[in-house]
Structure formats: structure tokens, C-alpha cells
Amino acid sequence: MPDAEAQTRPILIASNRLPFTAHRSAGGIEFKPSAGGLVTALEPVLRKRGGTWVGWPGLAQKKGETLHFEAGDDAGYEVAPVGLSETEVNRYYHGFSNRTLWPLFHSMHERAAFDRRDWEAYRAVNERFASVASGSAGDADLVWIHDYHLMLAPASLRQALPGVRIGFFLHIPFPPFDVFRLLPWDREILRGLLACDLVGFHVAGYAQNFLDCVERRLGARVDRRTQRIEWGDRTIQVGAFPIGIDFDAFANKARAAAPSPEAGRERIVLGVDRLDYTKGIPERFLGFERLLERHPEHRERVVLLQLAVPSRAQVSEYKELKREIDELVGRINGRFATASWSPIRYLYRSVPQERLVALYRDADIALVTPLRDGMNLVAKEYVACQVDEPGVLLISEVAGASETMREALAVNPYSPDETAETLHRALTMEEDERASRMASLRRRERRYNLEHWVNGFLEAAGRESQALALPLEQDFETWLEPFLARYRVALFLDYDGTLTPIVDHPADATLPEAARRGLDACAARSDTDLSMVSGRGLADIRAMIGRDDVTYAANHGLEIEGPGFEPFLHEDLPHYQARMPELTQALSESAPEGAWVEEKGHTSTFHFRQANAEDHARAADEARRIINGFGFQARDAKMAVEARPPIGWDKGRAVLHVLRSRYGPSWSERVRVVYVGDDHTDEDAFRLLEGLAITFRVGRAEEPTAASHRLGHVEDVHELLDWLAQRPTHELHES
């Protein structure tokens, strides 16, 4: 679709909170609009294009209570509330979102709690968000999901609406790999985000961290230059979109605001934060104390005015922090106060915006020293409100904002000495330097404002993701070359969906020419042994490949034949084989038109791909019931249900049998194993080989996998075969 047309289609926004908050009062439930920057930025987009905002109204739902909300007649968009019970508010919101993800993503892992019940609530609530979103999406052109509360929702939404475009923006940092991996559910979170078309972060460093995690934890192909990820058959674009503020609105309000009562007597050093341990409030106070110790000339001339907005007061960490701050203020004020001056003025409350902008305008210095911060809007708002005498901005090196606000004075928030010295420098800075620095900061923030951010993200989300430009050989080399070098290679390949595309009838899935060439070239190498691991019967898979020097593990490995070792047939098989004809007949009788049964000796497969789509679910249920009734194990496959003898044998056990029979019990010292498969019967082999082999899962991104890497298509497997056939020949380590 042309970009211009796409920009006028409705849009769906999903965020933890709706643009207004519900409160219970004596007169019933009341709604108050939320005045946050994000709401101000996104509402006009919704009004213009139409669409829906999905979110939690901020109130725990009582049993049997239904909450109904409307954006108001003139809003021009719909509101779809997601109800949460009190337990869910505790576990999903206070628990997993704010006690696990918030500290971990701010690289404060020692504060993070990992509780499986919180995780389960998070998963359930994310699924509910996705289901409300898919029910409200209508003809929305894009679903834009916000923040760390909803990182699994994209995956559920993708399942419900496979064709929808999904954009995600993370408002907090994305941590480095060695911090992120501490999360017991790290892969699930990554997989959730990879269901998007675009994943946006504030700064390039967070996007890099995400790419590292996806590459190292999921084995996805990553193109760092274009910031793209190949995930099975899909491509995901990643990018940095530094958020801005409504600069002109802040500047205009600052021009209009009445003088702050605090202005005039002493010079003001201003801190404005939610009361949160990431914001570094105690550390900031210690830096200010050090200033007063080292530079007594500032005593009675400067005051640190700290606004701390109450936040997440139910979480114990925050209660503890409040106590710590109260004590620190008391101690420092007790130490330095005189009859007419107290060094720290601390307000634990929120103030109206007119008063906030006046403070920003009248403050001589803004002390923005979070210990870690996604971006930090306070720094930007301060700059926008500097409409009179230019002040100085001190910014923590580890706030996202410091990446672009280069003319601010950067500080390490953990160092009281550095904070003190930088404060001293700011307090003694000449007017012309202050003016130059502030003018540059203001110019940039005016240009890269909130509207610029919204438009930039929406434009990127509307662009089709191009496939990776990186040649596959390069990744094969990185993944395989160091692992294989100087070792014999045992290559295990599934057939259908791996070497050949899936077709309606298995008999039509003949080996493509490219696969034949690759297989022949691999087999021709004296340092490579080939094995086929297939659900097909032995004669069938042998005929499809047509080589005698290959090992065949047929019927999911129940029957194995290969060069150099005794043929294998599981000892319990004859018993089940005797029952097979009867089972096949029962399955055939249950089959609706188009469905059919493939008998393969020891196993049997009920195929329903060609039956009417509306019969699929019922036919599969019935087949499972019959299979179980005969004492066989029913396993779902692609548009099919397989009947297998329930003897605890699978492709993983079969691979192990081949390796032990061929190379002895110390096989792992003698060969390097590569396994390629495309469906969930291959997962048994992927799991067994975890840490022992390089494994590839081919195809659909939505299927979870234990494989170490993914490939998009059958053609990529052909390239892998070519690479393996042409890899450098080394003198073997041990033969």
C-alpha cells in the first residue's frame, strides 16, 4: 500500500494504562484524564486517523463487576478497557512488571525478584491485552504497543491476526546481554518482541543490546548495519527513536507562568523525579553535601529543591527508599542549616504543571542524575522552559538523554565527588558559556520534538521490512567454522519441510535438484557422514534419497539402518505392528472427505490438509481419540496427527543411537553434530542435542524451538549443504 494512504488508516494503540484513570468514589466510578506526555502526543494521532486505545483503566476489577468506558463523544476514537483483578494487579503490574522487569532492565538485577506466579500472571494478562486488541483492531493499519508491561502481547496478537503490522516501543533501557540473560524467561520475552515488524528503543545502545540478546540467546540471524533480524520466515526491523517533548507547549507555558515563590533569595538547583530508586535521589543528595563540604562559599547561597512524585508506593522497595531519603534530608539539613537557610528543600508530592514549568524556568541548575534511565524527559522539559536567563543542565551519563544532549555537563551519578565538582563548575559558569550551551540544547529539542518522534516511528512502522542483505555463508562461517574445524561431521537431516517444501501429498515431495547436488557433494567428502531422520517409512525415505552410503532413521527413528552398524528395530515394535492394520482402518473410517491415512509399518499418519478447513479441528480430535484408544501415542504434526507406539522413543533417541553405534560412547570427542529439521518432532532431537550440537529449525517464526539457530526456508538449507560441502578441509583431530 502507498505510504500516504497507509498514514490515514486507523491505528490501534495498546499501553498498560489508558489515557485516563478510573477512581472509585462515593458517587461511583469517576474518570480523570491522564495528562502525561505520551497521551498528549498520541491522542491527536488517534483523533486524526481514528482507531482504538487498549489499556487498563487503573482500577482493580471486583468480582462480577463490568467496567465500561468511553473516550467521550467528541474523541473520534474508541477505548477498549482491559479489566484486571486485584491479584493480577499485584502479580502482573506490581509484581512482574515493576519488581522484575523494571529493576532488571535498569541493570539493577540485585533488586529484581523472579517469581514464577508473577510471570504466569504477566503472560495471562498479556494474552488478554492481545485478545482485546485483536477484537478491536477492525481495519487498523498498525497496532502500536508500548512498553515493558506488554512484551509478550505481540506474539499472541500475531497468532490471532497473522497479517497485522505490529510496532513496539520500549520506554525504558534494554539491558546488556549478561544482565538480560538472568531473567529465567528471557527467551520468551525475546520471542514475544520478535512477533513485531518494528521494535523501537530510545537510543542505539539499547537496540544493540537487543540485537546481541536475540543473536546470542535465540541464534537468530542479525544484520547490525541495517539493524534487521531474520527470525524464521520473517524479518524484523529494529531502530533507535529518541523520544522528544512538546517543546513549544512547554516554552509557551514557561513564558506565561507566574514567578515561583522560591525564586530570588538563593540560587536554585532543581531535581524533579518520580520517587524511584533508578533516579538516584540519595546519591544526588550526597553529591550536594560534598559540594557544601568542599566549596563552603555556596552555603547559604544555594538550595537544592527536590520534587519527588509518589510512585508505586505499594512496592516495599519504594517504601524503603522513601525512608532513606527522609533520613538523608534530615541529616544533611541538620549538618549545614543556619537560622535562615536549609540546604535541601524536599517536596514529596506532585505539583500542578504551571508550577512545574515556572520552577524549570527559574532554576539556575537542573540536576538530572538517574542511576539509569531510558531517556529522561525532565532534562528536555527543563531546557524547553529556559526562556529567561540561561541555566545549566547536569545530566547523568547513563540516561538515554545524555546521548544527544551533548552540551549538557555529563556526570557519573555514582560519584559524589564528580557531582560536587560539576555542580561547582555549573554554579560558577560564565553567562556566555551558559547561553551557548543552552541555545544549542534548545535548538535540538525544538527540532526533534514529540511530533517528530511519533511521525518517525509511524513512518518506519509503515515500511515493509526488507530481507537481510547479509549472505548466509557469512553466518554459517561464524556459527559452524570454529565448531567443526578439524572434526569429522555427522550431519542429520529431516526430509519433508527441510530438504523439500511441504506439499499436499508426501509422494509428490521429490528431492529438489539443489538439495540433491548439496547432498551428493557432502556425501563425497570423506570427513562427513550423512543421516536422514524422517517420519517416513524406511523404504520410502531410502527411495527418496537413493543413496546407500547414508544412514536412515525412519518412522521417527524406530527403525534405523546405516553403513557400519547393526540395523535397529525397537524390541516392542512387533506387538504394536500387529495392532496397526486395525488402527489404520479405524482412522480411515473416521476420515472426512479429503482426509486420508498413510500406513508406514510401525507408525501411521492421519493427514487432514486436504479436508474442508472447517472439518480440521473435529477430524484431528477424533483421530487423537482413536489413536489413544488403541493404546498408541497421538502426536500433532503439520496438518496431520501421527500414531506412534508409546515406547518412549523419538528422533532424539534415534540420533543418540546412531552416534553411539557409529562412533562409540565417546562420540562427542570424535565427531561434531549438525542437525536440521522443520517441525516439532525434530524438537526432541533439538532438546537432546542442546549444548552438544549446532541445530537448525527451518520455517515459521511463530513456532517455538529449542534449536540453536533458525533458517527461514528450504532454500536456506540447500545453501547450508553447499557451505558444508565446500568448507575448508582440515587434517582431522581424530578419526
Residues in touch with ligand GDG (CB under 6 A): 37, 171-172, 243, 272, 274, 307, 309, 350-351, 353, 356, 373-378, 381
Q: Which residues of 164-195 are buried (b: 16+ CB within 10 A; e: fewer)?
A: bbbbbbbbbbbbebebbeebebbbbbbbbbbb
How many other CB atoms are found less than 10 A from the CB of residue 216?
14
Taking each helix axis from N to C terminus, what angle separates 513-523 and 714-726, rounded to the nearest 10 degrees? 30
| Dist CA 179 CA 118 (whole Å) | 20
Closest Cα partner for 418 from 286, 266, 281, 271?
286
Cβ distance to ligand GDG smaller for residue 376 or 422: 376
Q: Which residues on neighbouring strands pair with residue 314, listed in sequence order? A: none
3 state SS of 532: strand
Asked if 494 is an active-site residue, the reply is yes
- Min dist CB 133 to ligand GDG, Å, is 21
Strand order in the sheet with 234-240: 78-81, 51-56, 11-17, 142-146, 166-169, 198-201, 234-240, 228-231, 221-223
Considering beta carbons, is residue 41 or 489 the nearer one to ligand GDG? 41
Q: Which one, 263 or 639, has the nearer CB to ligand GDG?
A: 263
Q: Within a 10 A sphere around the Cβ of 323, how many other Cβ atoms? A: 10
Other C-beta atoms lying within 10 Å of the C-beta of residue 552: 28
Cα 361 off chain centre by: 39
Using CA atoms, how far apart are residues 390 and 437, in angstroms rounded to an integer? 9
Give least dist CB 374 to ligand GDG, A: 3
Q: 251 to each of 48, 198, 269, 380, 462, how far by Cα in Å?
A: 25, 32, 20, 11, 32
CB nearer to ligand GDG: give 109 or 670.
109
Rounded CA separation 257/267 (Å):
19
CB of 103 to ligand GDG, least distance (A): 12
Kindly tell me which of 82 and 378 has the beta carbon lying closer to ligand GDG: 378
Closest listed residue to residue 140, CA positions, set 80, 52, 79, 236? 52
Shortest Å, Cβ 276 to ligand GDG: 7
Give the total residue count for the chain: 735
Do residues 656 and 553 touch, judged by C-beta distance below 8 A? Answer: no
Q: What angle do CA 97, 98, 101 make, to 5 degrees?
A: 60
How many other CB atoms are found less than 10 A from the CB of residue 136?
18
Cβ proximity to ligand GDG: between 217 and 274 the closer is 274
Residue 330 Cβ, how far from ligand GDG at the closest point, in Å? 22
Strands (E), 473-562: 488-493, 528-533, 551-554, 559-562
Report in angstroms how near the CB of residue 381 gets to ligand GDG at its nearest.
Answer: 5
Q: Which of 6, 21, 86, 29 is nearest to 55 (CA)?
A: 21
Q: Phi first, then psi: what are they for 274, rounded to 5°?
A: -70, 150
- Choice between 237 and 306, CB closer to ligand GDG: 306
Q: Closest separation between CB of residue 501 and ligand GDG, Å? A: 44
DSSP state of 186: H
Closest distance between ligand GDG and the C-beta of residue 360, in Å? 9
Catalytic residue among 364, 373, 494, 682: 494
C-alpha cell at 533: 531422520
Burial of 63 (0-12, 13-18, 19+ CB in 10 A): exposed
- CA–CA gap between residue 643 and residue 597 (Å, rounded): 10
Closer to ligand GDG by Cβ: residue 142 or 307: 307
Q: What number of helices (H) and strands (E) belong to the chain?
A: 26, 31
Query: Measured at the alpha carbon of residue 693, what is the angle toward residues 691 and 696, in degrees to the nearest 5?
Result: 110
Query: Of 170 and 213, which has the nearer Cβ to ligand GDG?
Result: 170
CA distance 549 to 488: 16
Least separation, in Å, of the C-beta of 714 and ligand GDG? 42
In terms of CB distance, is 82 or 385 closer to ligand GDG?
385
Asked whether the beta carbons of 336 and 344 are under 8 A apart, the reply is: no
Taking the complex as a whole, the smallest distance from the CB of residue 204 to ligand GDG amounts, in Å, to 16
Residue nearer to ligand GDG on the CB measure, 81 or 374: 374
CA 662, CA 445: separation in Å to the nearest integer? 67
Please give the DSSP secondary-structure letter assigned to residue 520: H
Minimum Å gap between C-beta 377 and ligand GDG is 3
Cβ neighbors of 49 (< 8 A, separation 6 or more) are 7, 8, 9, 10, 11
* Cβ count near 209 (within 10 Å): 19
Nearer to ligand GDG, 164 or 385 (CB): 385
Query: Considering beta carbons, is residue 112 or 172 the nearer one to ligand GDG?
Result: 172
Cβ–Cβ < 8 Å for 603, 644: yes
In whole angstroms, give the CA distance from residue 599 to residue 580. 8
Task: Go through 388-422 and write b for each residue having 16 or more CB atoms within 10 A of its CB, e for each that does not.
Answer: eebbbbbbbebbbbbbbbebbbbbbbbbbebbbbb
Shortest reach from residue 493's CB to ligand GDG, in Å: 47
Query: CB 376 → ligand GDG: shortest distance, Å?
Result: 5
Active-site positions read: 494
